Every structure is written in structure tokens, then in C-alpha cells.
Amino acid sequence: MLLRIIILSVMCFSSVFGQSYLFKDGRVVKAEGTKIQGNDLIVTTKSGESNVEMTFPLANIVQMDWPEPENLIAARDAVKEGNYNLAIPKATAIMKEFEPTKKIKGSWWEVAALTHCQAMVAQEHTKAAEHVKALMKEQDNPNLVTQAKLLQIELELKAKRFKEAQTIITEMEKKNPSDEIMAFLYNFKGDIAFSEGRFDDAIESYLHVPIFYGTVEVAMPRTLLAVARAYKKFGDLQRAFRSYAEVIDKYPKSAEAQIAKQEKSL
């Protein structure tokens, strides 16, 4: 291990307190500031009165523990609020920042990449499909691939390729997915039924989410809005308004709540 004081003009992490790194040999290094230079991580720590820089090969790091970057928090909030133009550049910046560490457990690259893709898909960006495909290639990260498949289903639905969407759904259902995944799959099945004019089937699909997967909060605003629309189309206006009110009351800052406010008054 070399102790060096180096003036660096390389890409820097934002100076964040509370970072720590677990190495292959079991050591844990806590840092107040870190930088990446090539394939190395330069960690700054205090030694007495002075700061000391230590260099570690990235390949030796097993896990990193970072507080969530503010820009990423902002990006995810922006997605929830439907502000995709704000979300995309923020998420992109975080992706770039964490790109060298993307294979390290605890890196924020995965979350940033997902947030980025979610925003692009929601915005119906022309390159959304390309980015989703890229995520699906990350085969050593099964969680990321699963999330990418969900985004793929969304893309298929937006393009009205219902059969293709259903194929992915069926394939995912067979793999005993988590509650969160099931919640999304039921939403998608509801979307397909809705698009085919089978509003009662759509309602029943959507309602599987609050009944059986009610703890999956992330899926709820979308579900409530979708079921409100399905009730409306089916002709059950009372229940439609109730669902609109629920999404507005429980998730007031969400993009779905804003849409609900408009649709409720129509």
C-alpha cells in the first residue's frame, strides 16, 4: 500500500462523508472523500492532523457502502412526480459517476440506470428501447434483468404489442417472482385487458395488487389510477371517483395524483 499525496485532475466523486469499502481480504476502509483514477480508487483518510491518500485497485473491492447521492434521490423523486426531463440528466450523471464501480455490490449505478430507463420509458423516448435492451444484457445482475423485463413489457404495451407483452408476463410468472414483481405483472395484465376493451377483466387484474400485494407501495399510485379509469369505462362511476380520490389523498405528490385530479373532474 502506497501513501501518496497526489494532485489529481481526474474524475472525482463528490465529497461525501460516511463512505466505506470492504475489500477481498476483509479489511474495511472508511473514507471521507474518494476519487477514481483509471482502475484505482484513491481514498482520503485522516491521519492525525493531516489527510492521507491511499490507492486501492477497484478489483479488490467487494462491497461499497455509500449514502444515496442527492442527485439520485432527486432523480427518483422526479420520476415519481412525472418530471422526466429533470430525472433523465440527473440519473445519467450518477450512472457516469458510478460506471467504474458498477460491478461492485452497493454501487449506485444499478439504481441510477433503472431510474434513467424508467424515465425514458415513461417519457416514450425514442431511445428507451435501446437502453432497456442494454440493461437486459447485464446477465450477472438478475435483479436488474428482471426490472429491465418489466420495462420491456411497458414498451410493448405502449406500442400496443399485447401478445409480446403477454409472453413476457407469462414467462416471468412461472419463475415464482417476488410480491413487487407480481404487483407490476398484475398491473400489466390489467393494461392489456383495458386496451382490449375488457374493462371488467382489467378491474379484476388491477385489484389483485391492493388485495394481495398491498405492501408494494411503489405500485399503488399506478394501480389506483388504472382501476379508476377501468371503473369509469365499465360504467361504475361511484367506484371510479373513489379510486381517483384515493390516489389523490394517499399519493398527493405523484404524477398519477395530478392526472387523477384532471380526470376526476371530467
Output 239 or 264, the one with its CB closest to another protein: 239
Among 64, 120, 203, 255, binds another protein (CB under 8 A): 203
Give the torsion sign (CA, 209, 219, 122, 262): positive
Residue 222: CB minimum distance to another protein, A: 17
Strands 40-47 and 61-65: unpaired
The nearer residue to another protein, 100 or 210, going by C-beta atoms, is 210
Query: Whole-angstrom distance between the N-terminal and C-terminal Cα of the chain?
Result: 68
Q: Measured from the CB atom, is 184 or 206 closer to another protein? A: 206
Is residue 211 involved in binding another protein (CB under 8 A)?
A: yes
207 binds another protein (CB under 8 A): yes
| Sheet with 61-65, side-by-side order of all strands | 28-31, 19-23, 61-65
Residue 14, C-alpha cell as written in the block: 463528490
**Dist. CA 185–CA 167, nearest whole Å:** 11
Work out the burial of residue 76: count CB atoms within 10 Å of its CB; fewer than 13 is exposed, 13-18 middle, 19 or more buried: buried
C-alpha cell at 140: 450477472
Measured from the CB atom, the residue of 113 and 226 that comes closer to another protein is 226
Q: Which is nearer to another protein, 167 or 215 (CB)?
A: 215
Does 225 sit near another protein (CB under 8 A)?
no
State CA 115 to chain mean position distance: 4
Rounded CA-CA distance 161/148 in Å is 17
Candidates 94-102, 111-119, 125-133, 201-209 — which segment interacts with another protein by CB under 8 A? 201-209
103 touches another protein (CB under 8 A):
no
Tell me: does residue 70 bind another protein (CB under 8 A): no
Torsion of CA 221, 223, 224, 227, to 10 degrees: 160
Q: CB of 107: closest distance to another protein in angstroms? A: 23
Binding mask 237-266 for another protein (x = CB under 8 A): --x---------------------------
Query: Could you list the residues that contact another protein (CB under 8 A)?
Result: 200, 203-204, 207-208, 210-211, 214-215, 236, 239
